[in-house]
């Protein structure tokens, strides 16, 4: 089986930095992805890590440690529009298995 | 690029009717399409995986006779919720990918059964 754990909610203020952690247990692993989903919308791909280390894309960065079965999404210079749900997902057997999601609230 | 169109975006219908949802890849050939269901404040749950020209592979607990999936071409997959009941009300999302490329998601269909 597989399971992913991430915090259910996080609150931060505009301009701050926030880190959303994700730990996973899977029988097979090909990579960790992060998706953003605004209320009522579709998931939007943010980043993907297949190998250990940090991937940076603008204000968003993602980190993976395969030995620790752990990754995180780092959001810098938070903006109000970043308020959304963030999901980590593992690629397994060609399928995406999603975590339960972290609801990020950005306050003024 | 990599646009996935899902239609309809919103549907309300009476209990007992069947509802068809379409998922189209507009600018690439989708060798594989996925169907997810999402209840409010919950995660995306994979329902089934379909490869063009093959029968869909359903996840455990998903009734294949209830949720009919057709993937007849490289750009179109359909999900039909048969004899829908209020408990089938949910947000249904498709995604598509070409070979080992990342999945691209449609905008979802909000289904409400009265």
Burial class (CB in 10 A: 0-12, 13-18, 19+), A41: middle
**So what's the pLDDT on residue B1?**
63
Mutate to test the interface with A, among B103, B104, B109, B110 (most CBs of A within 10 A): B103
Judged by a CB distance cut-off of 8 A, whether residue B54 touches chain A is no
Structure tokens of A85? 């749900």
CB contacts of B108 in chain A (<8 Å) are 40-42
Task: Express each pLDDT in A46-76 by its tens digit.
Answer: 999 999 999 998 999 999 999 999 999 999 9
Contacts of B2 by beta carbon, 8 Å cutoff, 6+ apart: B25, B27, B28, B101, B104
Percent of chain B at pLDDT exceeding 90: 77
Percent of chain A at pLDDT exceeding 70: 99
A9: closest chain B residue by CA:
B41
**Average pLDDT by stretches of 10, chain B with 114 residues:** 89 96 93 94 93 89 94 92 96 91 90 95
Average pLDDT, chain A: 93
């Amino acid at each position: 089986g597989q399971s992913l754990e991430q915090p259910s909610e996080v609150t931060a203020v505009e301009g701050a930095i926030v880190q959303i952690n994700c730990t996973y247990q899977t029988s097979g692993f090909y990579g960790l992805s992060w998706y953003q989903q605004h209320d009522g919308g579709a998931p939007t791909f943010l980043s993907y890590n297949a190998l250990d280390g940090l991937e940076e894309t603008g204000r968003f960065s993602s980190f993976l440690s395969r030995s620790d079965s752990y990754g995180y999404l780092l959001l810098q210079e938070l903006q109000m529009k970043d308020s959304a749900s963030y999901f980590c997902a593992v690629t397994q057997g060609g399928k995406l298995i999603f975590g339960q999601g972290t609801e990020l609230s950005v306050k003024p | 690029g990599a646009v996935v169109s899902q239609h309809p975006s919103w549907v309300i219908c009476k209990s007992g009717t069947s509802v068809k949802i379409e998922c189209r890849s507009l600018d690439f050939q989708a060798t594989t399409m996925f169907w997810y269901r999402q209840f409010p404040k919950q995660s995306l749950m994979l329902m089934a995986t379909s490869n063009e020209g093959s029968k869909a592979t359903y996840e455990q607990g998903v009734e294949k006779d209830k949720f009919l999936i057709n993937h007849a071409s490289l750009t179109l997959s359909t999900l039909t919720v048969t004899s829908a009941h209020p408990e089938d009300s949910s947000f249904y999302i498709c995604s598509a990918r070409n070979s080992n490329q990342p999945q691209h998601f449609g905008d979802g269909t909000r289904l409400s059964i009265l």
